[in-house]
Amino acid sequence: MLSGIWQTTNQGTSSFSGSTTGSSSSGITDLIDGSNSKSITPGSGHVEYKSVGGLFNSQYSYDEKYILSAGIRAEASSSLPVKSRWGLFPTVGVAWVFGDEQFLKSAKFLSLGKIRVNWGQSSNSPSGSAPYVGSLGSIAKGYGENAAIEFKSIQADNLTFETVSQANIGIDVGMFDNRLNLSLDLYDKLTTNMLQKDVALPATTGFATVKYYNSGTMDNKGWEFSTDFQLLRTKDWKFNINFNISQNKNEILDIPENKQALNYTFGNKTYAYKLSEGEPLGSFYGYKYLGVYQNKTETYAIDANGKTIYDINGSPVIMKNNDAKVYAGDAKYADINHDGIINRYDIVYIGNSNPLFTGGFGFNVTYKNIGLVATFHGRAGQKVINAVRMNNEYMYGSDNQSTAVLRRWRHEGDDTEIPRALYGRGYNDLGSDRFLEDASFLRLKTLTLKYDLPKKISDKLHIKKLQIYITGYDLLTFTKYQGQDPEISLKFEQGLYPMYIDGAATPKPRRFAMGLNLNL
């Protein structure tokens, strides 16, 4: 089978505006310099965007067992410079319905067996009419008696689209008359020439920014497995269960040039943002928290061999958090390089915000007219920064604090992980693993109980079907996480560093819905 499509778009917007104040008469509404006109501001604009694209697909199926498909998409738009304007993006796929093969005919239990392999490319173009075009503009008033013109933007002739290449391999198996279905997919999605917007340029170019710049490579790899199984299928009873699990791992292969490898400013409540080639995005970097210094002896700096460090006068060197000397009761961070100072060189990897697994399961039971449907969703092995706790155990200013601060350190021997209160001083709240928590959870997302009016009654009422149901959302959560809600949405710090940070967003409410479905 062959198919093709060709599209062109042409969008144009024009605007004209003008305003005048202080006209000599309300009757004069034209943009003229009236006797008392204070200002006349005209403005106009015209923006055009054009694109063309075509798609050609072909599919060949032999014996309904061997399926081959291939397609190609061609795209061009006015947002890219001439040299990279046209992009060709192929897709190919093969599928083999091995379940229908002769040698498996004997395996009666197998109702479907299919292997799929796909590979394809797609693209993202920069937005805007012609963002690559460099321009010059006049300078108001000029220089002396001469008109003056300056460069306004730099021409980006090397700008190109961001390319996404995705490979996918999957297997679908249906057994026992499709009562048991299994599906497994492995994918690898590679994004190259990542588009970076408004990239700061070195001032030596004479420009502050370039509108778009291609830099960076990112890879997303993962797998997804899902199954559903019909346990019971009798006249009165129906019982289905389903289960799905997936894992995704993204990795920066090339750091975009405008992003710093390590982005950190020493200070309370700050974590380091770090990109390392070959490591997953969303890693947390910070200090290792070791509790509270109990007494003066504990504040002595220790060298790599476990010996106390002494200064030139023979007295022991006291640990410092950056420039602040520590005292008993202050937060104790691991001095990784044993220099007696806690600073950026003591920052280590403390965890990752990517879940090990994401998944869910559910069931669907029906007995005669009554049905019960449940779905569970969960994440496992995910770390988050509990910023709420970080703010509420800060004890730095006059803000309200949580009751946890009541067990803060006061005297030597207090067995607590919360440092002493220091008003407006010290570094007892540095970004450390103290606030990093495991936010694994399992949540009953929905639970529905439904009842269908028996056919006998509905027929009398001349309606096809009447269903009454009640659904509860987010009824139960199983988690060890201390914050309000472990289901935290992803936040991109500084546009690139994906982080799960709990900023006390309103937790998911427990909701109930009752409804009536009426089919006439």
Select 202 or 397, whichever has its Cβ closest to other proteins: 202
> Using the rule CB under 8 A, which residue among 111, 129, 183, 482 binds other proteins?
129
Interacting residues of 154 by C-beta distance below 8 A, sequence separation 6+: 134, 201, 205, 207, 210
Cα separation values, 305 from 301, 308, 336, 337, 388, Å: 11, 9, 12, 12, 38
Is residue 134 involved in binding other proteins (CB under 8 A)? Answer: yes
Is residue 155 involved in binding other proteins (CB under 8 A)? Answer: yes
Distance (Å, whole) CA 499 – CA 487: 13
> Using the rule CB under 8 A, which residue among 34, 37, 40, 50 binds other proteins?
50
> Using the rule CB under 8 A, which residue among 38, 106, 141, 397 binds other proteins?
141
Is residue 324 involved in binding other proteins (CB under 8 A)? Answer: no
> Using the rule CB under 8 A, which residue among 2, 514, 516, 520 binds other proteins?
2
355: which 2 tokens?
């879940």
Residues numbered 190 to 209 that lie near other proteins (CB under 8 A) are 200-208
Select 50 or 249, whichever has its Cβ closest to other proteins: 50
Binding mask 209-228 for other proteins (x = CB under 8 A): -x------------------
Is residue 78 involved in binding other proteins (CB under 8 A)? Answer: yes
Residue from 401, 374, 376, 405 nearest 388 by CA: 401
Is residue 139 involved in binding other proteins (CB under 8 A)? Answer: yes
CB of 125 to other proteins, least distance (A): 12
Is residue 514 involved in binding other proteins (CB under 8 A)? Answer: no
Select 209 or 242, whichever has its Cβ closest to other proteins: 209
Is residue 467 involved in binding other proteins (CB under 8 A)? Answer: no
367: which 2 tokens?
């007995």
Is residue 323 involved in binding other proteins (CB under 8 A)? Answer: no
Judge whether 263 and 494 are in contact, CB under 8 Å.
yes
Select 18 or 503, whichever has its Cβ closest to other proteins: 18
Residue from 379, 287, 383 nearest 336 by CA: 287
| CA-CA-CA-CA dihedral for 212, 215, 216, 217, to nearest 10 | 90
Token pair 């062959």: residue: 2
Q: Strand runs (DSSP E) across 176-282, as ranges?
A: 180-192, 195-200, 209-214, 217-233, 237-254, 262-263, 273-274
Select 62 or 423, whichever has its Cβ closest to other proteins: 62
Select 16 or 423, whichever has its Cβ closest to other proteins: 16
User: At 469, which amino acid appears?
Assistant: Y
Taken in order 339, 343, 344, 350, the sign of the CA dihedral is positive
Select 46 or 368, whichever has its Cβ closest to other proteins: 46
- How does DSSP classify residue 319? P
Select 1 or 304, whichever has its Cβ closest to other proteins: 1
Judge whether 326 and 320 are in contact, CB under 8 Å.
yes
Residues numbered 250 to 279 that lie near other proteins (CB under 8 A) are 257-258, 260
Collapsed DSSP state (helix, strand, coil) of residue 266: coil
Distance (Å, whole) CA 164 – CA 258: 20
Residues in contact with other proteins, total (CB under 8 A)? 66
Residues that bind other proteins (CB under 8 A): 1-6, 8, 45-52, 54, 61-64, 76-78, 82, 85, 129-130, 133-139, 141-159, 200-208, 210, 257-258, 260
